[in-house]
Amino acid sequence: MQYFITGASGFIGRRLVKKLLAREDSTIYFLVRAAEKESLANLYDFWECDAKRAIPVVGDLTEPLLGVAAVDRKKLGKKTTHFFHLAAIYDLSADADIQLKVNVEGTRNTVNFAEEIGAKHFHLFSSIASAGMFEGLFREDMFEEAEGLDHPYFKTKHDSEGIVRRECSIPWRIYRPAIVVGDSRTGEIDKIDGPYYFFKLIQKMRKMLPAWMPTVGIEGGRINVVPVDFLVNAVDHIAHAKGEDGKCFHLVDPMPMRVGDLLNTFARAAHAPEMTMRINAAVFSFIPRHMRKALLALTPVRRIRHAVMKDLGLPEDMFRFVNYPTRFDCRETSRVLKGTGIVVPPLENYAWRLWDYWERNLDPDLFIDRSLRGQVEGRVVLITGASSGIGKATAWKLAEAGAHVVTIARDKEQLDDVVAEFAAAGLKLHAYVGDLADMASAEAVTQQVLAEHGVVDVLINNAGRSIRRAIENSFERFHDFERTMQLNFFGSLKVTMGVLPRMIAQKRGHIINISSIGVLTNAPRFSAYVASKSALDAWTRCAASEFADRGINFTTINMPLVKTPMIAPTKIYDQVPTLTPEEAAALICDAVIHKQVRVATRLGITGQVLHALVPRVAQIIMNTTFRMFPDSSAAKEKKAGMLPEMPSADQVAFQQFMRGIYF
């Protein structure tokens, strides 16, 4: 048999050609643009054939008779048994004029060409979109009944069908596929479309929340998806079946899922939390259409909507189709395919393959230089308190990645030792002595850094002090609160306010504030420390909102307990699960790369959720831990030389339990 195919290089077209080539004595002619002819090697590799069986024909869909030269038309010799027209723009966001030119006029040009070369059968790949926003059950023999065709894509797919039905003199068959996803056996796909738009959102939820955490989602109409291998197998069989000309076939799932169920299926595949509570999008239909349009036309609303959709990676029109009202009858398709074994596989059986292929090959983050070197090489990074602990470990990683690392700390001797240690390893650390708890010193040293380095590209506010003491033991120690606030909040703020003007001028910058898990969990005995970090968190949220459109990013890291000299005096921490400084530095470097708004452990987020949803329960839990672990000897101001208290059996058991859920 001799076939002619438009759109042979597309996702569906490539697989259909390969399927047809499996037929004995088949020869494929396929349309290519002149610019594509020199890049056909990949196609032939995929098809596992050469130009003897798959023959390119140079032309253009938008030209009369597809722009195919007369000599090439003559070579076809009126021997084409089946003509498949797949080429079209499958993009909801594409320009309306382009869609009209390609989808409608291109179909008319294709029909005329097929008639010119004497094709015996004409096969049009349409779409369920040709039904528009029809409310109810749309049968395979329905066409004129389509409604709600105001979207350009829906309109052009409907009109292209009309051309075939009214103008094509060749026996024709029309195929209306549902949303086509990847291969059910391999997961392979080559574009982001349909449910794939929600994959980035699901991925973000997985990173933020444990899989068991219930979340609120959206519910809507039934979304019909089919894997590409089912589509190709079905078309191959139907196209060669006798007596089916002049019919339309719905290549759909006879049991489509609702939006919420479909998204939860992919959430399970991604090991992300499921949407246990769902808000039906239909509730918004109670708002009169003219009011909705007027509201969405407001500049603040449009700006917020655009920013949110961009951050989630969703197209602007996506939520227009969430409450999709159309269901599709497929009895004719089922009749022709009966007994062939060609059926739509349950999405639950292959969703994991789709997710895995997307995350390994199509995740947009894969195409961004996410290496630490790619983000900081040649950039000035200021880290406060890098003479030890977390700051030192972070400075080391950044210096190894090619950053110009600058630090501010109080202890000159310790700084000199660290600089020498870096130098011995072939690394450069620019060290400045300054007391950030002293506002005059903080301002002076910040200006010195700017004068000598010009600008700070990344600021990491790491220097801080912590005090573990119950409020009951702090009545006579108000200075603890003053000192903690002075360094943790005012000192960090002073440095930040110093570097911000330069960041604003260059329209680029990143400020990372090292906060604490205690801010999320409201940890008892850390009232001074948590209060100071909470103040910094609140200021950061305000600043992030003000500078969201200025190219300046803010990140808050709610750091869990880290094994540093700062916690060494509290011996009870010897048995508590902690991060190493290197692990903490890895969290900071990840924030430098990805510029998240917040970095927190799952334990911290769980604590925050508990305090938000069931505050009384959260208080009881925290009070239990408060009573279980007393103040240290130092906090109680016991005399030197007293033996430390041994942990009780309950304390040891609780500490071991926490090791398993710490993250």
Closest CA to 374 of 395, 396, 401: 401
CA distance 28 to 20: 8
- Dihedral angle over CA of 390, 392, 393, 397, nearest 10: 130
Closest CA to 281 of 340, 332, 222: 222
- By three-state DSSP, how is residue 562 classified? strand
- By three-state DSSP, how is residue 135 classified? coil
Radius of gyration of the chain (CA): 32
Residue type, 650: D
Residue type, 375: Q
Closest CA to 227 of 172, 178, 176: 178
Residue type, 282: A
Q: How far is CA 72 from CA 8, 57, 62, 65, 113, in A?
A: 18, 7, 17, 11, 12
Burial of 505 (0-12, 13-18, 19+ CB in 10 A): exposed
Helices then strands, counting H and E runs in the chain, come out as 25, 22
Identify the residue whose tokens are 């349909």.
Answer: 194
Residue type, 167: E
Question: What is the separation of C-alpha 298 from the centre of its chain, rounded to a whole number of angstroms?
Answer: 28
CA distance 529 to 487: 10
CA distance 391 to 380: 15
Q: How far is CA 336 from CA 249, 437, 577, in A?
A: 9, 80, 63
Active-site annotation holds for 196: no
Residue 248's contacts (CB-CB under 8 Å, 6 or more residues apart) are 126, 140, 141, 143, 161, 173, 174, 175, 176, 332
Positions of E strands within 252-379:
257-258, 275-280, 326-328
Maximum distance among all Cα pairs of the chain, rounded to whole angstroms: 105
Residue 640's contacts (CB-CB under 8 Å, 6 or more residues apart) are none
Task: Tell me whether strands 598-600 and 552-559 are parallel, antiparallel or unpaired.
Answer: parallel
Asked whether the beta carbons of 384 and 462 are under 8 A apart, the reply is yes
Of 90, 324, 529, 573, which residue is the catalytic one?
529
CA distance 362 to 340: 33
Asked whether the beta carbons of 539 and 546 are under 8 A apart, the reply is no
Joined together, the tokens standing for residue 577 give 């699960």
Active site residues: 529
